[in-house]
């Protein structure tokens, strides 16, 4: 725990420290004058020398053919909840996630390394490279989140409430190794027409998301052999984005006129492992933003391969996610969220409803989020209800 505390202190020091001055004629970000007013020898007092809400810890060559950015996000969370008369309280480091990202050999090639550190637990998340072959045409190779839904393409850092909804754990999308052709679909502001088509290993590298089959069917993942070979899964998505919409979060922190995003995503595992893998998944999503107000929703379906051939499909589960909210003066966001798991074959129906607030202390760089809600499992003989109050403090570099 002392080591984690030192990490948080270092992160805060870096966030508070101004970047080094440009040297040998090197310009600061996007400013060929190096932050000085033309024709003067002194900095322009009307311009802030340092904006902690957007500061990046980055080294780059003058032409940006080579660059490296060091990132770090830490979250401390509080959860008070429980079933019946047995409430539990938990205060813990939720995430400590360093990243290395940048460009190599050409500005057209980007890379990302992403790991997690918690006391006694080091976990690998992403390692991928992305090459822009032409405007709107990229190829990506490595391990990252499959391009199934916009909801999961977004980062945990940009939740309106404290954490992911239950649909993420059931339907995904998870991280897999693969290769993908795409139009820069996961840019903060994606192109008007977005698309992605990839072939992945079919092996979930982290059993936290897209484990609906095992949960609904009551199967212990530890008792299922993960194959040592790939069983290809084809993943595709198409989308239409209007008004220059920023899709990295549901909340409309940017403000502005009416903007809209619509998308379809699908995944087909050609040889799913029984009890571990969905065979076919589909999702339809919509996101609308206008002047601080936002409305978003996702509808899911998933099948299992209930036979010896790919034609033997059984509809196993449906899901729904919906959220709405408003951001006041780009500082305070309020949100309501509902999601549901609707098994069609086996398993219990689960409803989740939450409401909460987000305080943007330094935009999304430093946030305080809190929510309260209820999770209802429609199990027999009596439904099980878990009432929760959650809070999280997040700091990112």
pLDDT of residue 306: 86
Owner of token pair 């809600």 = 373
Q: Is residue 357 part of a domain?
A: no
Q: Tell which residue, 258, 266, 201, has the closest CA to residue 238.
A: 266
Where residue 285 falls (left for φ over 0; alpha for ψ -120 to 50; beta otherwise) is beta
pLDDT above 90 as % of the chain: 66
The SS3 call for residue 161 is coil
**140-150: pLDDT as tens digits:** 999 999 999 99
Tokens of 185: 């679909």
Which of 73-87, 183-197, 271-285, 353-367 bottoms out in mean pLDDT, i.e. has the lowest?
73-87
pLDDT at 222 (0 to 100): 77
Q: How confident is the model at residue 49 (pLDDT cuts 50, 70, 90)?
A: low
- At 223 the pLDDT is 76
Output Rg (C-alpha) for the chain, integer angstroms.
22
Mean pLDDT of all residues in 72-76: 95
The reply to whether 381 falls in a domain is no
Is residue 170 within 8 Å of 211, Cβ to Cβ? yes
Residue range 179-232, pLDDT digits in tens: 999 999 999 999 999 999 999 999 999 888 999 999 898 888 877 776 667 789
- The pLDDT of residue 377: 93
- Of 121-130, 164-173, 212-221, 321-330, the least confident: 212-221
DSSP character at residue 173: -
The stretch 351-356 carries a mean pLDDT of 97
182 found inside a domain: yes
Q: What is the pLDDT of residue 55?
A: 78
Task: Answer with the residue of higher pLDDT: 320 or 39.
Answer: 320
Task: With respect to residue 194, please indicate whether it lies within any of the assigned structural domains.
Answer: yes
Q: Is the pLDDT of residue 40 over 60?
A: no
pLDDT at 393: 96
Q: Which CATH number does the domain housing residue 101 bear?
A: 2.40.160.10
Least confident among 19-28, 168-177, 315-324, 364-373: 19-28
Helix or strand (DSSP H, E) at 215: helix 212-217
The DSSP output letter for 24 is T
**pLDDT at residue 35 in the model:** 36
Q: What is the mean pLDDT of residues 75-102?
A: 85
Task: State the chain's mean pLDDT as an integer.
Answer: 86
Residue 12 falls inside a structural domain: no
pLDDT value of position 90 = 84
Tokens standing for residue 299? 């509808």
Average pLDDT rounded to a whole number, residues 111-134 = 93
Q: Who wins on pLDDT, 14 or 262?
A: 262
Residue 18, domain member (yes or no): no
Higher-confidence residue: 264 or 119?
264
H or E element at residue 4: helix 2-16
Q: What are phi and psi of 387, to 5 degrees?
A: -95, 130
Tokens for 65? 């053919």
Nearest Cα neighbor of 177 from 150, 206, 156 is 206
pLDDT at residue number 379: 84
Which residues form the domain of 223? Answer: 59-75+91-352
Separation of alpha carbons 216 and 226, rounded Å: 19
Q: In the predicted model, what is the mean pLDDT of residues 64-70?
A: 95
Is residue 351 over pLDDT 80?
Answer: yes
Does some domain include residue 201? yes
> Is the pLDDT at 350 greater than 70, yes or no?
yes
Per-residue confidence at 7, pLDDT binned at 50, 70, 90? very low
Exposure class string for 274-298: b at 16+ Cβ within 10 A, else e: eebbbbbbbbebebbbeebebbbbb
Q: Give 81's pLDDT tier (boundaries 50, 70, 90).
A: confident
- For the chain, what is the domain count? 1
Asked, for residue 236, whether it belongs to a domain, the answer is: yes
Confirm if 375 and 351 have CB atoms less than 8 A apart. Answer: yes
More confident residue, 276 or 195: 195
| Res. 13: pLDDT tops 70 | no
Between 233 and 40, where is the model more confident? 233
Structural element, H or E, at residue 170: helix 166-171
């Amino acid at each position: 725990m002392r080591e984690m505390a030192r990490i948080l202190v270092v992160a805060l020091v870096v966030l508070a420290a101004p970047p080094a001055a440009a040297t040998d004629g090197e310009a600061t970000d996007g400013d060929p004058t190096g932050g000085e007013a033309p024709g003067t020898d002194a900095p322009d007092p009307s311009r802030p020398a340092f904006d902690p809400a957007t500061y990046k810890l980055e080294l780059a060559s003058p032409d940006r053919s080579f660059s490296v950015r060091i990132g770090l996000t830490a979250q401390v969370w509080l959860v008070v909840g429980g079933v019946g008369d047995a409430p539990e309280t938990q205060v813990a480091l939720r995430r400590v996630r360093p990243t290395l990202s940048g460009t190599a050999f050409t500005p057209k090639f980007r890379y990302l390394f992403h790991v997690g550190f918690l006391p006694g637990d080091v976990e690998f998340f992403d390692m991928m490279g992305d090459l822009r072959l032409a405007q709107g045409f990229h190829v990506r190779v490595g391990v990252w989140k499959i391009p199934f839904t916009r909801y999961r393409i977004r980062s945990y850092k940009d939740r309106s409430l404290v954490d992911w909804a239950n649909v993420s754990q059931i339907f995904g999308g998870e991280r897999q190794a693969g290769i993908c052709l795409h139009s820069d679909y996961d840019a903060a502001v994606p192109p008007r027409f977005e698309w992605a088509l990839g072939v992945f290993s079919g092996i979930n590298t982290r059993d936290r998301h897209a484990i609906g089959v095992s949960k609904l069917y009551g199967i212990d993942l530890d008792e299922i052999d993960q194959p040592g070979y790939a069983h290809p899964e084809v993943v595709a998505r198409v989308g239409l984005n209007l008004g220059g919409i920023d899709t990295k979060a549901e909340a409309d922190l940017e403000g502005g006129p009416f903007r809209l995003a619509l998308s379809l995503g699908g995944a087909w595992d050609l040889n799913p492992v029984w009890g571990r893998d969905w065979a076919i998944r589909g999702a339809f999503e919509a996101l609308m933003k206008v002047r601080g107000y936002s409305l978003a929703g996702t509808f899911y379906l998933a099948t299992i391969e209930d036979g010896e051939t790919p034609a033997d499909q059984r509809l196993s589960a449906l899901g729904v996610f919906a959220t709405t909210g408003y951001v006041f003066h780009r500082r305070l966001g309020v949100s309501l969220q509902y999601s549901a798991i609707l098994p069609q074959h086996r398993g219990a129906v689960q409803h989740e409803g939450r409401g909460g607030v987000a305080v943007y202390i330094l935009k999304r760089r430093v946030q305080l989020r809190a929510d309260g809600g209820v999770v209802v499992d429609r199990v027999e003989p009596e439904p099980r209800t878990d009432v929760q109050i959650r809070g999280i403090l997040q700091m990112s570099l």
